[in-house]
Structures are given as C-alpha cells and as structure tokens.
Structure 1
Amino acid sequence: MAIHKPGKKDIDNTGLNSRATTKYARFINKDGSPNVVWRGSGILDRYSIYHYLINIPNWKFILLIFGYYMLINLLFAGIYYVGCQNHLLGLIKGTPFETFEEVYFFSSQTLTTVGYGRISPEGLLTNTIASTEALIGILTLAIITGLLYGRFVKPKAYIRYSDNAVIAPFQDGKGLMFRLLPIKNARLSEVIVTLTASMMIEENGKTINKYYSLPMQFNTINSLYLSWTIVHPINEDSPIWGMSMQELEEADFEFMVYLKAYDEDFSNTVISRTSYTFDEILNGSKFIPMYYDSEEGEGTIIDASKLNDYTETPESRI
C-alpha cells in the first residue's frame, strides 16, 4: 500500500468519492463513460429515454428501430388476423401463413401511411384500429426523425486513444505517456487536457482513496491535426515519483483523462474522457512515430494503424 507523501497535494474537486476505503473497479471506462451503478431509485429516475437513444451506438439505434417496426407490425397484424379478417376488403385468404402475411403487410402499409389501396378496412371497429395504427405511425416517424437529427448534429470529440500508456525515457529522466489521435476529419482547436490520478493511500493508519493532479509537459495546444503524445514527467513534482510498478498496483493506480476542445465545424465545445489503470501501463517502452512526410511532397502522412505501436526501452523501467 502506498504511503501518503508530504508535499504531494491531493485534490478533491474530481466529483468522485475521495474517502473510499476499497476500490473494486476503475472509475472511468475506456470509452469515457462513468463506471457507476445506480441503486435505490426507480428506473424512471435513473434513465432518460431521450438521452439513451441519443447516445447509444449507431448499430444499436438501427436495430432498435427495426425491432420496434417489426414488433408493432406483428402486434397489429395479430389483431387484424384474429378479429378483423372479415372486415378487410380485398384480403386474399389462403393458408394461415398466407393470410397472416396479407394482414402483416397491410399493417406495415397502414403504419407507414403508404396505403396501396388493395386492402381497405370496413366497419367502425376495424377502421378505428387502422386509424389508431396510422396515428402511431405518424408519431413514430416524427420521433425517429427528431432522434436521427439530434444524433446527426450532436457535437462529438472524435478522439482515439492508445490502448496503453507507457513509462518511457523523457529528457534526462522518465515520463508517463499515452497517445491520442483525431479521427473523422475533426477540426479541433484550443485543446486542453487534464490528468487526475487515483490511488489508495495509507494515511494516519487508515486506507483511503485520494486524487492527485498529474502535471504535464504541456496541457494545451492551439490545434490538433496530428497525433499528440501526452507526457507526465516523473520527477519530484510527480505523485508517483519513486514508486515501482508493484507499488502502483498495490495502490490500485488509475489516471483519468479529461479533454476539452473547440470543434470548428460545429462551433461548439466538445469533451472526451478515458482512463488507464496500472495494468494498462507498459513499463519500459516508448511509442513508435506514426507520421512522416510524404515522398511526393503532398503533406504529412499519418498512419493511424500505428497508434498503439511501441518498442521496449528497459532503461526507462521504474
């Protein structure tokens, strides 16, 4: 267990619990989401459907739309099949499967308000069911359109981080480093990065969790077009100065990355987060350069496939 070091000022503005006596998992997931599980409140208090649908991955959103479309059509097709067959003019009856196929596609035409016209409802009850389905279809289309627009225009920091951090040679000593890269033609300026370390510390005979600011070589750049290697010099000002990898493991070391930048395309501020735990730190390694000049003189070439490439440097082990 790491011992509290006088002179290494801890911070308490992280928004996380600074008095935990045991740490079971990382605070920030690799994708930047907080690793928090809510208990003791209702599901409506814990979740917002809008925020969930805005933030889920594209493949989940698409599957959810298709799943909803299939489910609502199956529901109304079942209603038509069970109680409305004799009130659907133009319905061609055959085997049970063929009849259900007919009412299913009638349902899809009603839901989307296409209405080809071959099958039409007759009678108050069947017309009421069909008009209700048409209303649901119109409302669904409006909601999905709004969600698609919201997802499309939502500002997002398209940043890819290296899978691992490294302990590498830096100036006359060593440094804790990781690398990041802008993707998807992101135009980011006024980029600011903040690093916060979390460690289980023994203080006054008690084990508590404390947070420390990790000073960087520099934490601000005007524009981010190439890869950026963030460096925390391991010197007398570092909270991990003099610590070995075993001590970092015993301290359950994790450092959290907070990036804020101005997106020139959206004219808005974007934020990105991630974290690295002690087992994601490569002791005695350095990153391999991932950009070089074009032989044709066309500009700088960035090889994104080398974001995680490194070579071992045993002399920089701690």
Structure 2
Amino acid sequence: MVGIAVMTGLAFARFSRPTARVLFSRVAVITPHNAMPTLIFRTANQRRNMILEAQMRVYLMRDDITLEGQFIRRLYDLKLLRNQTPSFTLSWSVMHIIDEFSPLYGMTAESLTQTNTMLIISLSGIDETVTQVVHARHSYAANEILWNNQFVDIFHHTPDGHRYIDYNRFHDVLP
C-alpha cells in the first residue's frame, strides 16, 4: 500500500509540472531599428494564461582565438532593449542593438558561419495558474540569422477596433 501511494505521488508530481509552451520564431533577423542595426526574434506564449515576471536572457556563443593563439569557445551576454516583462501574454519581439559594445559589432553573415556562432535563448517566468516557475529554451545557428530582413506585421485590427495576432504569419519575414 505504501509503494502504491509513493508511486501515485511521484506520477502526480511528474504530470502536474507546468510546461512553458513558448513558440520561438524559426529565424532571427538583423534589421535597422531606430536607425541602428538590431538583432530581433519573436516569441509567443501558447498557453491560455499569463507567464508573470518573465525574464529573457540571450547569449552569443562563438569560436575565438586568444591573443596567444589558443582556440576558445566563448560565451557573451547580449544586452536586450527589454529583458523582462511583468506579464508575457501574447507575443514578445526581443531586440538587441548592435553597437560598438555588442559582440556582433562588425560581424557579417559569413563571419558568423566561420566562427560557428550560435544564439542561445533562455526564458523563465511564473505560471499564473499554478504559481510555479516555467522555463523555455531555444537556439539559433548562424544560418538561421537572416540579414537585411524584417518580420511581417502580425498585429491586426478587427472592424470593431479590437486587436488580434495572426499566428499564421508568425515566422514570415520580408527582405
């Protein structure tokens, strides 16, 4: 009887854990935003509730050669325009300005490929329904970062003035 109770408890604990169910765009883009080159990717909350106090962290990982000529796989933090939101409900366009302080400064599509560059994304927040922390991760390889493209607008208005998001175009980009 004790064994059955323990197994039931373990099964319940495993299946009652919330999952983030966050959608990430298939590609990231580098496009001008306020006259500055900007790395942008999209996320969307696929749950019917909110993720509270959501925090986004983005890392750039690439091969580097030190001044001594040694190979090293280096990890850089990317500073975001907004790395947290009080409630992640629908969609979030994550942006990193490429200025002289950015590890992407001076890079090209070719140099990203040559250095095996990868973006690593980590999202965490509190599921509003069960008040437990949820996590989501994603990564973009160098060939999934499109230069001089922009995302298609997914926000639309109904005739009566309400806004909605067209998720059918969530991954679409324009040159």
Same fold (TM over 0.5): yes
Give the deviation of 1:293 after TM superposition: 2.5
- Pick from 137, 141, 146: which aligns with 1:273? 137
Is the partner of 1:193 in helix, strand or coil? strand
- Pick from 161, 166, 176: which aligns with 2:29? 166
User: Which residue is equivalent to 1:59?
Assistant: none
Give the deviation of 1:152 after TM superposition: 3.8
AA aligned to 1:153 is S
| C-alpha separation in 2, matches of 1:150 and 1:186 | 21
Structure 1, unaligned runs of 5 or more: 1-137, 313-318
Is the partner of 1:247 in helix, strand or coil? helix
User: Which residue is equivalent to 2:74?
Assistant: 210
| C-alpha separation in 2, matches of 1:293 and 1:139 | 58
| C-alpha separation in 2, matches of 1:210 and 1:184 | 34
User: Which residue is equivalent to 1:183?
Assistant: 46
Structure 2, unaligned runs of 5 or more: none
1:52-71, aligned counterparts within 5 Å? none
| C-alpha separation in 1, matches of 2:166 and 2:110 | 34
Q: Which has the higher contact order (CA 8 A, sep 6+)?
A: 2
Residue 300 (str. 1) matches residue 163 (str. 2): yes
AA aligned to 2:77 is S
Which whole-Å deviations, capped at 9, do the CAs of 1:241-297 have from their partners, x for residues lacking one? 011111111110001101111111011111111111101111111111212222234
Is the partner of 2:106 in helix, strand or coil? coil
Give the direction of change, closer, same or farther, for the CA distance of 1:164–1:196 in structure 2 (3 Å limit): same
TM-score, normalised by the number of residues in structure 2: 0.90
AA aligned to 1:222 is P
Larger radius of gyration: 1
User: Which residue is equivalent to 1:156?
Assistant: 19
- Which protein has the bigger strand share? 2
Give the deviation of 1:240 after TM superposition: 1.2
Is the partner of 1:155 in helix, strand or coil? coil
TM-score, normalised by the number of residues in structure 1: 0.51
Q: State the superposition RMSD in angstroms.
A: 2.1
User: Which residue is equivalent to 2:111?
Assistant: 247
Is the partner of 1:248 in helix, strand or coil? helix
Tell me if the contact between 1:158 and 1:186 (Cα under 8 Å) persists in the aligned partners.
no
1:15-54, aligned counterparts within 5 Å? none
Identity %: 28
Residue 264 (str. 1) matches residue 128 (str. 2): yes
Number of aligned residues: 174
Is the partner of 2:12 in helix, strand or coil? helix
Which whole-Å deviations, capped at 9, do the CAs of 1:111-148 have from their partners, x for residues lacking one? xxxxxxxxxxxxxxxxxxxxxxxxxxx99987885566
| C-alpha separation in 2, matches of 1:151 and 1:304 | 30
Which whole-Å deviations, capped at 9, do the CAs of 1:82-124 have from their partners, x for residues lacking one? xxxxxxxxxxxxxxxxxxxxxxxxxxxxxxxxxxxxxxxxxxx
